[in-house]
Structure 1
Amino acid sequence: MTTPTVLGVSLKMYLGHRRTLQWAHAVADVARTHPALADGTAELFVLPSFPQLVPVMDALAGTPVRVGAQDLATEDHGPYTGEVSGAALKEIGCRYAEVGHAERRRLYGEGDTTVAAKTAAALRNGLVPVLCVGERDRAAPAVAAERTTAELDRLLATAGALGGLGPVTVAYEPQWAIGAPRPATPEHISTVCRALRTRLTADPRLAGSRVVYGGSAGPGLLTALGADVDGLFLGRFAHDPRAVAAVLDECLDRKGVVSARPQNAVSEINSGRTG
């Protein structure tokens, strides 16, 4: 049994409304015909900005591409001016909600307590959290794995105390690699993602979780990674729909690598997938 390679794309705030819809229609054209999506080799989700969520869903209708939000509120309803709740996101058809990105932490002061509360909010509303973790400064792979796993432990412990846990998509994004010319090395990525996977598979409540890599990820990286990484979380390198198609091509090239994952891990991932 082969578990799908997961590809996510965050558009951040790079594209305006018209360009976002042009991008979505172009990606829809790719998704309707690409064999990696047709045969389940790959899964693809996209995270546009809030005003584009519904029109992007319309543009992607009839394709297997899922849509999610780049953020959500810690609360589900009430006097929270400017916020968007997980309940509203679920109601309009979102499947994912990104939480804990380094930019939210750095620019808006979101700490572990807020990130954990948003993770809990996503889960209780039936959304898959795209939970971003990653060390701030460059470190040896083993050190980075220790720091990042400790971060994940803190977030999941707090989120679990606020409600039940469920499948999450952990996006490993070392902060020093975000916006850099090149991603972390394949050895570094695999070492950290292996540690994160071990943490996730140890908790039955998290069955169905995946680990993807972000941080200057783009075409050419996926085939260099082993089975410890479930896929990529793409940013600016996916603004050209042809790059999305190129990474989907790499999913086909990588199929044999993913199939080599131990069968018990594959079963655990498949058993709880909701995305």
Structure 2
Amino acid sequence: MSYVNDVLLGIIEGITEFLPISSTGHLLLAEQWLGARSDAYNIVIQAGAILAVTLIYWRRLVGLVTGWRDPANRDYLLKLLTAFGITAVLGLVVKKLGFELPETVTPIAWALVIGGIWMIWAESVADKQPDRVAITWRVAIAVGFAQIIAGMFPGTSRSGATIFAALLLGTSNRAAATEFAFLVGIPTMYAASGYALLKEFKDGAGTEDWTGMGIAFVVSMVTAFVAVKWLLGYIRTHRFTAFAIYRIVFGALLLGLAWAGVVQ
């Protein structure tokens, strides 16, 4: 691939990884036109997006770890670890069972459409609940399961599934739900990326264009940083409806392209 394609893929990954619109659907479509990429390549550009969110929340993360003696910090940290633990254990179980991700657009397109409709319904339900900022144990457990569901059904969107699990099950404040979802996503995605990358190297991944991969990594990190910063400001005064509508339109477009034979 040319370095222009690396830039384009980095931009797509950076924008879509943490917005509730599914990075998988966008990257799979891009792959149809820009050429197939190795698993190692996917992992590395995803790591760029994870690093961006880590930089955004580094003060919060350091504060939680260094302030663990404070009851509120300790409680929040334990809930983060619980959500991550559920995802890690169930993720290994799913791997052992031999679950394979789809390689065609159609199931991902349906997940985008159904997920968009579900988001509209879920937000209308969440809006009727009392304003609650606190993260409950029920929310922590639900977010852990939501990450697994999103991983098993690409197109669902990990960020979308976890944010709305929090909104529906006790945290009606969008900013609080989004922060918890993103903080849980940091160790989850680092662990998943590390596991997959080690497997790639173990299986002999050594023919990569490391320059192109490095370009995509940096572009993904910068783009994700901007996208997440924008999202955190946007949700303070806006609903997620625009993302839901985008998912439905994009999913319908993918179904049309698949039906016409333009994409597989």
Is TM-score (shorter-chain normalized) higher than 0.5?
Answer: no
Instruction: Give the TM-score of the pair, scaled to structure 2.
Output: 0.29
Q: TM-score, normalised by structure 1?
A: 0.28
